[in-house]
Amino acid sequence: MATIRDVAKLSGFSVATVSRVINKNGYVNPETERAIVTAMKTLNYKPSAAARSLAGKSSSTIALMIPDILNPFFPELARAIEDAANEYGYTVMLCNSDNNLQKEMNYIDVLISKKVDGLIVASYSLQPEHILNLKQKSVPVVVVDNHFDSLPIMAFISKNREGGAIAAKHLLEQGCRKIGHICGPMNIQASRDRSVGYEDVCGRLHWFVPSLIVQSDFHVDGGYKAMVELLSRHPDIDGVFAGNDLMAVGAMKALYHKGKRVPDDVKLIGFDGIGVNTVVPELSTIAQPIYEIGTMAMKRLVQMIQGEAVQEHSHELDVKLVVKQSTVIDEAESESA
Amino acid sequence: MATIRDVAKLSGFSVATVSRVINKNGYVNPETERAIVTAMKTLNYKPSAAARSLAGKSSSTIALMIPDILNPFFPELARAIEDAANEYGYTVMLCNSDNNLQKEMNYIDVLISKKVDGLIVASYSLQPEHILNLKQKSVPVVVVDNHFDSLPIMAFISKNREGGAIAAKHLLEQGCRKIGHICGPMNIQASRDRSVGYEDVCGRLHWFVPSLIVQSDFHVDGGYKAMVELLSRHPDIDGVFAGNDLMAVGAMKALYHKGKRVPDDVKLIGFDGIGVNTVVPELSTIAQPIYEIGTMAMKRLVQMIQGEAVQEHSHELDVKLVVKQSTVIDEAESESA
DNA sequence: ATGAAAGCGCTAACAA
DNA sequence: TTGTTAGCGCTTTCAT
């Protein structure tokens, strides 16, 4: 591996000058530059990232911490963030935490020791103190898919409450007269907000009873079980809003097994905008602007890394109702189950 | 941030000794060690990974390159690899290449400059030379989900040909009398092998004609289109083997739209063992031992990193037929929860 | 068993 | 415009 000194020697200039052309800063004669670039090429020189970051320069690496890589929502987010990161010249280190506080703290230590330039975090275990602590160590952090009220923490999250309300309204508009809700874990802010949205709309209707809400865990199997429970409590249910798409898929499977047809007997809507692609019949959902969350988070992170004084607070992004087959009876294609 | 020198000063020993306790090598008096550990604790000292790797030590980081993070197969693989990596004390850097050679080569440069200790690659664009080249630079590499015949390259891949044959046989056993095949991209070894497996079984049956094979792209939409095409060529088809689960899902959607019932009218089987979870009716598939591929790949990589002289060649892993609702007409409906 | 000192490859004053 | 040099935090001979 050629070093900066080799390049200096071959080109006949000093390491400082070579460093200048690498970093494109400081004055350097065009001819000199050309000579140096040539030397770098012939030596196939690649600066050592380790050395640069040791010498005080950034590592050009950011980390992304997610709770569950098996939930398609996060790969999509990761994809968006990676694309954006590449654009800014960063590589991303992906950390899957299993939503386990211990693992997360451990990762954070490792990441700091690796001198990552910044951190994008999707976590439901980390407390505000942890984030603030990081900031104190001057590690830029931006939170996604979660937020901390009125704390100076940069966060990007969808309008979950509004989304929950939109979902409920949509079911109502499709003629549902008794709508159940499978909600996600209560320790997740986004999950709570979605439920509140549902209650905003359904809570005061004459048919509403608390037992129409079943709590679950954001996973397919959990959704299945919750749907079975819901059906046993309220066999006459004709609409279901699941707190995320994965649970909606589980619910769909349960309905299928119990002989209920979707959307004919029961209309079903999810949240996230991911499963849409892989279920039959396709799932109506409240789509989050996943890609946008990713790019905005990355953009802000870069600003923070570069020391710009950005206002740190929560940003709420618009969600979008995506109507598919699971909530609409469409004569044109209702040929089979 | 406390440095090794701070620890040395506080504990009253030299940096060399501190280094020894960090790395647990060389002789150091138990009492001394205790004192130093205490000092490290009180200073909340964390060695700088950047400095260590500059000083010749490993970076404790490996990279995983995958072509498509949106295909659930790869998150599963990533998950397995990350788990294994953590166990060995490594952090993983995830690189999504979009199956784009340019991006991959670029990543490789970056990764080398970052001094990653090793590389696990799932790529269909990289040529054997690229891999060999890497090895020459003494970067340990192991390939997954692909392999290069008779070259000294460590690779882990499923028995795709056998899997294709198993899938075809299963459809035959379920009473199918005309089986179509949606195959994946021909530049992907695994994809080709699966098709060959199908041909091994169906190629000589009286009903077989080449037009029963439609080529596609491993994505849901591609599977959809391929199924539509297949149906127009052979409306009387009663079994379909899709080269991966994503295409199988697409095929299922197409069948649904065309009024064909699964499995009553057409039986459908995929390959991979992932979609299983999110489709209704659930998809029969040939499951790859994804987790095992991940752990074995990581295990070998570590051995290579540590300089053990391992035999580098391809390893073929067994696949498993997973029978679900999409290939079996079952009145009793075996429950799954 | 412990310490002194020479780098690892690079950046960033400071000089020239 | 270019060069000299002192670190960045750690590992690792080589002494002691």
Q: Is B185 on the interface with A (CB under 8 A)?
A: no
What residue of A is the nearest CA neighbor of B66? A79
Q: Is B140 on the interface with A (CB under 8 A)?
A: no
- Mean predicted confidence (pLDDT) in B55-72: 91
A112 and B282 within 8 Å at the Cβ level: the answer is no
Helix/strand/coil (H/E/C) assignment for every residue in B247-314:
HHHHHHHHHHHCCCCCCCCCEEEEEECCHHHCCCCCCEEEECCHHHHHHHHHHHHHHHHCCCCCCCCE
Residue pair B200/B164 in contact by the 8 Å Cβ criterion:
yes
* Chain B environment of A49 (Cβ under 8 Å): 110, 113-115
| pLDDT, tens digit only, all 337 positions of chain A | 899 999 999 999 999 999 999 999 889 999 999 999 999 999 999 999 999 999 978 889 999 999 999 999 999 999 999 999 999 999 998 899 999 999 999 999 889 888 899 999 999 999 999 999 998 888 999 999 999 988 999 999 999 999 999 999 999 999 999 999 999 999 999 999 999 999 999 999 999 999 999 999 999 999 999 999 999 999 999 999 999 999 999 999 999 889 999 999 999 999 999 866 777 778 999 999 999 999 999 999 999 998 888 999 999 999 999 999 899 987 554 443 3
pLDDT at A279: 73
**B83: Cα separation from own chain's centroid:** 13
* DSSP summary character for residue B47: -
pLDDT at B124: 94
Name the E strands within chain B: 61-66, 91-96, 118-121, 141-144, 154-158, 179-183, 213-215, 239-242, 267-272, 284-287, 314-317, 320-322
Query: To which H or E segment does residue A91 belong?
Result: strand A91-96
- Mean predicted confidence (pLDDT) in B72-79: 95
In chain A, % helix, strand, coil (3-state, to 5) comes to 45, 15, 35
Strand D contact at CB of residue B28, distance < 7 A: no
Cα–Cα distance, A159 to A276 (Å, whole number): 19
pLDDT at A332: 54
* Identity of the amino acid at A272: D
Strand D contact at CB of residue A16, distance < 7 A: yes
Question: What residues does A62 pair with on adjacent strands?
Answer: A92, A118
Smallest CA-to-CA distance from A156 within A318, A306, A333 is with A318
Cα–Cα distance, A112 to A187 (Å, whole number): 27
Smallest CA-to-CA distance from A325 within A285, A274, A297 is with A285
Query: To which H or E segment does residue A43 belong?
Result: helix A30-43
Q: Is 90 exceeded by the pLDDT of residue B329?
A: no
What residue of A is the nearest CA neighbor of B57? A50
B79 and A61 within 8 Å at the Cβ level: the answer is no
- Mapped onto helix, strand or coil, the DSSP state of residue B329 is coil
B279 and A281 within 8 Å at the Cβ level: the answer is no
Smallest CA-to-CA distance from B327 within B276, B278, B259 is with B276
Which residue of A78, A109, A337 is in closest CB contact with B46?
A: A109
Identify how many contiguous H helices and E strands chain A contains and give both numbers. 12, 12
Nucleotide nearest to B15 (CA to C1'): C3
Q: How far apart are the first and last CA of chain A?
A: 63
Nearby residues of B246 by Cβ (< 8 Å), 6 or more positions away: A278, B71, B72, B218, B219, B220, B223, B270, B272, B275
In chain A, which among 96-125 make CB contacts under 8 A with chain B?
96, 107, 109-115
Q: How far apart are the first and last CA of chain B?
A: 50
Half-sphere exposure of A322 (CA within 13 A, CB side): 19
Cα–Cα distance, A162 to A170 (Å, whole number): 12
Q: Is 90 exceeded by the pLDDT of residue B43?
A: yes
Residue pair B287/B320 in contact by the 8 Å Cβ criterion:
yes
pLDDT at B26: 86
pLDDT at A334: 42
- Mean predicted confidence (pLDDT) in B262-282: 87
Strand C contact at CB of residue B186, distance < 7 A: no
Lowest mean pLDDT among A180-189, B107-116, B262-271: B107-116
Interchain CB contacts (distance < 8 Å): A and B: 138
Q: How far, in Å, is the CA of B48 from the C1' of nucleotide C1? A: 26
Residue pair A103/A111 in contact by the 8 Å Cβ criterion:
no
Angle between helices B245-257 and B220-233 (to 10 degrees): 50
* Chain A environment of B89 (Cβ under 8 Å): none
A278 and B246 within 8 Å at the Cβ level: the answer is yes
Smallest CA-to-CA distance from B73 within B282, B238, B289, B237 is with B289
Name the more confident of B160 and B112. Answer: B160
A279 and B277 within 8 Å at the Cβ level: the answer is no
pTM of the model: 0.91
pLDDT at B308: 87
Residues 21-60 of B with CB under 7 A from strand C: 26-29, 31-32, 51, 54-56
Q: How deeply is A18 buried, as exposed, middle or buried, from its count of CB atoms within 10 A (0-12, 13-18, 19+)?
A: buried
Q: How far, in Å, is the CA of A112 from the C1' of nucleotide C16? A: 39
Range A280-316 burial, b when 16+ CB lie within 10 A, else e: bbbbbbbbbbbeebbbbbbebbbebbeeeeeebebee
Find the radius of gyration of the CA atoms of chain B: 25
Instruction: State both tokens at B291.
Output: 């987790």
Query: To which H or E segment does residue A160 belong?
Result: helix A160-173
Q: Is A330 on the interface with B (CB under 8 A)?
A: no
Range B132-170 burial, b when 16+ CB lie within 10 A, else e: eebbeeebbbbbbbbbbeeeebbbbbbbbbbbbbbbbbb
Nearby residues of A86 by Cβ (< 8 Å), 6 or more positions away: none
Other Cβ atoms within 10 Å of A10 Cβ, number:
18
